Amino acid sequence: MHRQRVDFRLLAHGSAYDESACHEYGLGRKAIGAAKSQRTELSPREQVAASARIVVKIGTNVLMRDDGGVSIGAFYGIAESLANFRRAGREVLLVSSGAVGLGVQRLELSARPSDLALVQACAAVGQSRLMSMYDDAFEKLGFRVAQVLLTEDDFLDSRRHENLRATLTTLLQLGVIPVINENDTVSTAELDGPASGAERIRVFGDNDKLSALVMTHIDADLLVLLSDVDGLYTDDPQSEGATLIPELDSLDETIRGFARGGNGRGRGGMETKLEAVRIANEDGRPAIIANGRTPGVLDAILAGKPVGTLFFPRKRQ
């Protein structure tokens, strides 16, 4: 059945649009990638603004303050932006870290533990708190959420993979916002470092890479990685002379050399984000690294504004 295509470039610039088309669009997506002639006419930032299906990954350092408390402003600000996108007809999937951090806070621990069993206990406590917060925020905004906890086997086993894809697609068709995380309570791949078995295939070891895999498997148009930095810099952002790189169409060794490690609360640093970017770009899809602590950052990104670092796949000859 034919579905009308909503031009999100008009939405981004505040132009009028057909609300009935938006409603219908939410139940029958037509990706911008299907319109090859239009894709070649758009600038990279315009293509971002035209994204119909978006995967947003939120890092622990966005949701948690420096003192270990929950950043309520950032949390609800991001939720409101995602709800507005969904209301306008876009489809959104949220990959959210923060379960362990919330568990550490809930259990009143002084710092993230190193013992694996205790980390998993924190994840179990924190995950319920994380979903409760999302459920409360999105319910107030008029949307339902669904918890989707994944392990590496969901990508390795073909039947489980197809089931995952079918479930996510159905949730999007129903207007539900999936909230995705690794099932840290039963899976240790993300928590305990390198796999112990030589035969074990490492599919993902952090939520950055997980979000990129979700993006490619669900055929999304854009990956947004939100952290506590403005994007990729030419050096340590705190060092003198470091400058933000606005756009890139390749990831060579020089670019990878700009990456730095995480700060201790979250498991991912810039290196894991660049790996997620590589996965997205190799599949022909754009990715953006931006500061999730900046108010309205998602609205600015989807308006096509020069926010963060945009990694756009180089056109194939």
Residue spans of the domains in the chain: they are 52-311
Q: pLDDT tens, 275-286?
A: 999 999 999 999
Band of pLDDT at residue 66, cut at 50, 70 and 90 = confident
pLDDT of residue 40: 56
pLDDT cut 70: percent of the chain above it: 77
Higher pLDDT, 263 or 83: 83
- What pLDDT does residue 186 have? 63
Whether the CB-CB separation of 96 and 58 falls below 8 Å is answered with: yes
> What is residue 54's three-state secondary structure?
strand
* Ordered alpha helix ranges (H), 149-284: 153-156, 158-173, 207-217, 253-256, 270-282
pTM: 0.82
- Asked whether residue 88 carries a pLDDT value surpassing 90, the answer given is yes
Neighbours of 13 (CB within 10 A): 10
Q: What does the mean pLDDT of the chain come to?
A: 82
Strand pairing partners for 149? 181
What pLDDT does residue 22 have?
44
8 Å CB contact between 246 and 252: no
- pLDDT confidence tier of residue 29, bands split at 50, 70 and 90: low
d(CA 92, CA 55) in angstroms, rounded, equals 6
Do 218 and 169 form a contact (C-beta atoms < 8 A)? yes
Higher pLDDT, 100 or 239: 100
What digits encode the pLDDT tens for the residues 181-193? Answer: 988 666 555 445 4
Question: What share of the chain in percent tops pLDDT 90?
Answer: 60
Mean pLDDT of 15-20: 39
Rounded to whole angstroms, how far apart are CA atoms 298 and 80?
Answer: 10
* 235, pLDDT greater than 50: yes
- List residues bridging with 190 in a β-sheet: none
Pairing relationship of beta strands 309-311 and 287-291 according to DSSP bridges: antiparallel
**How much is the pLDDT for 191?**
47
What are the residues whose beta carbons fall under 8 Å from the beta carbon of 205, sequence distance 6 or more?
A: 189, 190, 267, 272
Q: What is the pLDDT of residue 153?
A: 83
pLDDT score at 15: 39
Distance CA 311, CA 254 (A): 15
Identify which has the larger pLDDT, 14 or 229. 229
First to last CA, the chain: 34
- pLDDT for position 242: 87
Tokens coding 286: 């754009």
Q: What is the pLDDT of residues 196-208, one digit of tens each?
A: 444 444 445 589 9
Rounded-to-integer distance, Cα 268 and Cα 262, Å: 6
**CA 211: distance to chain centroid?**
5
Question: Roughly what angle, to the nearest 10 degrees, separates helices 207-217 and 158-173?
Answer: 80
Picking from 185, 243, 182, 233, the residue whose alpha carbon sits closest to that of residue 57 is: 182
Locate the DSSP E strands across the chain: 53-58, 91-96, 145-150, 177-182, 222-227, 247-248, 287-291, 309-311
* Residues 14-36, mean pLDDT to the nearest whole number: 42
Q: Pick the more confident residue, 194 or 120.
A: 120
Q: Is the pLDDT of residue 258 over 70?
A: yes
Q: Which CATH homologous superfamily contains domain 52-311?
A: Acetylglutamate kinase-like (3.40.1160.10)
Instruction: Check residue 97 and give its pLDDT.
Output: 93
Q: Which residue has the tokens 């997205």?
A: 280
Angle between helices 99-106 and 116-140 (to 10 degrees): 100
Is a pLDDT exceeding 70 seen at residue 289? yes
